[in-house]
Amino acid sequence: MLDAAMVREFTDLLSENGVITDEVGLRSYECDGLTGFRQVPALVVLPRDAQEVAGAVRLCAKYGMPFVARGAGTGLSGGAMPVADGVVISLQKLRRILEIDVENRRAVLEPGVYNLEISKAAAPYGLYYAPDPSSQQVCTIGGNVAENSGGAHCLKYGFTTNHVLEMEVVLADGSVVTLGGPTGEQAGPDLRGLFIGSEGTLGVCTKVTVRLLQTPETVRTVLADFPSIEAAGDTVGDIVDAAIVPAAVEMMDSLAMEASEAATGAGLTVDSPAALIIELDGPGDEVEAEFEHLTAICERHGATRLHVPTEAEERQKVWKGRKAAFAAVGRISPDYIVQDGVVPRTRLAEVLTRIAEMGRDADLRVANVFHAGDGNLHPLVLYSEAAGEHDAAEKLSTDIAELCVELGGSLSGEHGIGTDKACSMPAMFSEDDLGVMHRVRLAFDPDSRCNPGKLFPTPRLCGERPGKYAPHPLEEAGVIERL
């Protein structure tokens, strides 16, 4: 339990302005974007640099206190939810862009830098940072590293892990290590890749070096309406089969477009069953040739409208309509849960049909907006807390995530497992799989103090009975040691 002497030590390290102990202040950190999971922390600390982060972690280690590193709190899986009697280490004051290395096309950043700020800083040099989550105006690069975030353009350019070269990380004992290298290569196991997407369970990232790309010569975008979700899904498959690799292929259904159009006036056709936003980029001649082929595929599948923005501002307006969809749903529902799962592209139509059936059975509406190019779904389950629909909505959301696994996909594409889907992990991984993951975690954090209660199913979260540990024969023979 936290006592006055512990608070004084944190205050001596960080100053009074770097420690929050009052209840109102603490409640500001009780949840992330998944507001259905809440826990007031015992203490919030706001370090100003990596040294203070390490010092705070060492104090947590000294007193055996669990801690949760927090960026902007925009995550949607409960990954930044505090721990009772634990410390939240907020990284919001670590916001410096330390270097834009134009010659080597790299940027060195502190973890509190907003995603979009990277591209703004690089733009004068004809460079940009490719991963672009819908929350890129407010999410931080540290949070992107924790969740291995993607975004609309991940189909062509990949996820955060494809663009992070090197990280400075504070481990659970307060020691500081470097994972990766200036070129992204490191001798031995890929600890850089292991850390990215670990959701804060292996340590705290305090500095990130990312890869920058050259701004594309030409960009062409089309907003295509379709008579059915099936037609839109088949279009996506044919585009990929034609060896066209768009920068982005996004799909929205009528419910998502209704909400987004009301919020943004982006020019979406609200009575259309489905729409695709498809973007090509690259050398001018290549883009023009592929764009002609692309529009022909859309027309072959019965596209009812092809809107091609001719100006950059008009194209940005279309993308504003897509990226505002999550928040805009608040216009048509008092409460909602954003889910995140992945299915093979070939099963898009099937999964959307199943989701619609599940929604009808639960008497709840589900809006769909997602990265169709790589099958990364984001169903939004609409409900009313006041009407007592929360439990039904939570069950439907979980069932949708597990349906993705049933159809050959994954529980998460980019939002992470966090608290929300920890109990669903056995649907995707065997007991042995989860055991190996947990032992890897213990190698970094032997006392499980880094963001405990996330990722893995626990008796507290899932009502499970922990099974008896069975030693491996090599362990019994003394050849290997259990961590």
State both tokens at 448: 């499980």
Q: Would you place residue 469 in the very low, low, confident or very high pLDDT band (cuts 50, 70, 90)?
A: very low
318 and 358 fall within a common domain = no
Q: Is residue 164 part of a domain?
A: yes
Asked if 195 contacts 205 with a C-beta cutoff of 8 angstroms, the reply is yes
Whether 461 has a pLDDT exceeding 90, the answer reads no
Asked if 470 contacts 482 with a C-beta cutoff of 8 angstroms, the reply is no
Assign residue 115 the CATH number of its domain.
3.30.465.10
Q: Is residue 256 part of a domain?
A: yes
Asked if 368 contacts 352 with a C-beta cutoff of 8 angstroms, the reply is yes
Q: Rounded mean pLDDT of the chain?
A: 94
303 and 412 fall within a common domain = no
Name residue 478's amino acid. G
> Residue range 270-289: average pLDDT?
97
pLDDT of res. 192? 96
125 and 239 fall within a common domain = no
Q: Is residue 477 part of a domain?
A: no
Whether 478 has a pLDDT exceeding 90, the answer reads no
φ/ψ of 146, rounded to 5, equals -60, -40
Q: Is residue 482 part of a domain?
A: no
pLDDT of res. 460? 58
Tally of CB atoms within 10 A around 40: 15
pLDDT of res. 481? 65
State both tokens at 447: 């006392």
Tally of CB atoms within 10 A around 142: 27
Distance, CA of 329 to CA of 379 (rounded, Å) = 11
Distance, CA of 43 to CA of 85 (rounded, Å) = 8
301 and 410 fall within a common domain = no
Which of 181, 214, 247 is the C-terminal boundary of a domain?
214
Domain that holds residue 297: 218-327
Which of 214, 233, 254 is the C-terminal boundary of a domain?
214
Spell out the residues 6+ positions from residue 163 whose beta carbon is closer than 8 angstroms to its own. 129, 130, 131, 157, 210, 211
pLDDT of res. 184? 81
80 and 101 fall within a common domain = no
Sign of CA dihedral 451, 423, 426, 337: negative
121 and 60 fall within a common domain = no
Spell out the residues 6+ positions from residue 360 whose beta carbon is closer than 8 angstroms to its own. none
DSSP annotation string for 208-272: EEEE-EEPPSEEEEEEEEESSHHHHHHHHHHHHHTT---SEEEEEEHHHHHHHHHHH-----TTS
382-408 per-position pLDDT tens digit: 999 999 999 999 999 999 999 999 999
354 and 452 fall within a common domain = yes
Q: Is residue 186 part of a domain?
A: yes
State both tokens at 399: 């069932």
pLDDT of res. 185? 79
pLDDT of res. 475? 66
Q: Would you place residue 479 in the very low, low, confident or very high pLDDT band (cuts 50, 70, 90)?
A: low
339 and 323 fall within a common domain = no
Total domain count, the chain = 4
Assign residue 262 the CATH number of its domain.
3.30.70.2190
Torsion of CA 174, 75, 154, 401, to 10 degrees: 110
Q: Would you place residue 458 in the very low, low, confident or very high pLDDT band (cuts 50, 70, 90)?
A: confident
Which of 312, 327, 342 is the C-terminal boundary of a domain?
327
Assign residue 29 the CATH number of its domain.
3.30.43.10
Q: Is residue 474 part of a domain?
A: no
119-139 per-position pLDDT tens digit: 999 999 999 999 999 999 999
44-63 per-position pLDDT tens digit: 999 999 999 999 999 999 99
φ/ψ of 171, rounded to 5, equals -85, 175
234 and 354 fall within a common domain = no
415 and 309 fall within a common domain = no
Rounded to whole angstroms, what are the CA distances from 45 to 1, 27, 62, 276?
16, 13, 16, 44
Q: Is residue 480 part of a domain?
A: no
319-374 per-position pLDDT tens digit: 999 999 999 999 999 999 999 999 998 899 899 999 999 999 999 999 999 999 99
> Residue range 59-78: average pLDDT?
97
34 and 110 fall within a common domain = no
Q: Is residue 475 part of a domain?
A: no
State both tokens at 308: 């091609």
State both tokens at 363: 């008497």
Closest residue by Cα to residue 253 from 154, 181, 108, 352:
352
Q: Would you place residue 465 in the very low, low, confident or very high pLDDT band (cuts 50, 70, 90)?
A: very low
Spell out the residues 6+ positions from residue 292 whose beta carbon is closer than 8 angstroms to its own. none
Q: Would you place residue 118 in the very low, low, confident or very high pLDDT band (cuts 50, 70, 90)?
A: very high
129 and 198 fall within a common domain = yes
Burial code (b: 16+ CB inside 10 Å, e: under 16) for 28-38 equals ebbbbbbeebe
Assign residue 430 the CATH number of its domain.
3.30.70.2740
182 secondary structure, DSSP code: T
Spell out the residues 6+ positions from residue 444 whose beta carbon is closer than 8 angstroms to its own. 171, 172, 201, 202, 203, 450
Whether 314 has a pLDDT exceeding 90, the answer reads yes
Q: What percent of the chain stands above pLDDT 90?
A: 92
State both tokens at 280: 């090509």
Element (H, E) at 46: none
